[in-house]
A = this chain, B = another copy of it.
Amino acid sequence: MPNKSAALDDVFNALGDPTRRAVLARLCQGPTSVSDLAAPFRMALPSFVQHLGVLEKSGLIYSTKKGRVRTCYVKAQQLSVAESWIATQRSLWEQRLNQFDAYVKTLKPGETT
């Protein structure tokens, strides 16, 4: 059932864009203002802010506004959500591999194929 999770949808979709991954990577180095974040990209500011919106909606970042400056921060827990989904699948797969290995070992040599 955990595959029908809107949270995972949002997180993975957010990660599926190079601009957004770059922003996230940047934010892992420390909090940054919107325009500083935007500077490296040649993209109109409203477009860029849309990416921030996607990241924020996914829970991967959050932001606060003080005066006219909005500062963005990573929220690493949300990264773990994605990471652990993947890890779970990988472990399922490895488990199955091991079962298969075990099964193969029950066969006489040369019996595979």
Contacts and interface: CB of A to CB of B under 8 A. Distances in A.
Interface residues of A, number: 34
A72 to B, nearest CB: 13
A16 B14 CA distance: 8
A87 B83 CA distance: 7
B96 A30 contact: yes
Contact of A86 (B9, B30, B79): B79
| Majority DSSP secondary structure for residues of A touching B | helix
B92 A25 contact: yes
Contact of A22 (B3, B11, B22, B92): B3
Contacts of A70: none
Contacts of A11: 16
Contacts of A92: 25, 28-29
B74 A79 contact: no
Nearest to A82: B86
Interface of A: 3-5, 8-9, 11-13, 15-18, 21-22, 24-25, 28-30, 74, 76, 79-80, 82-83, 85-87, 89-90, 92-94, 96
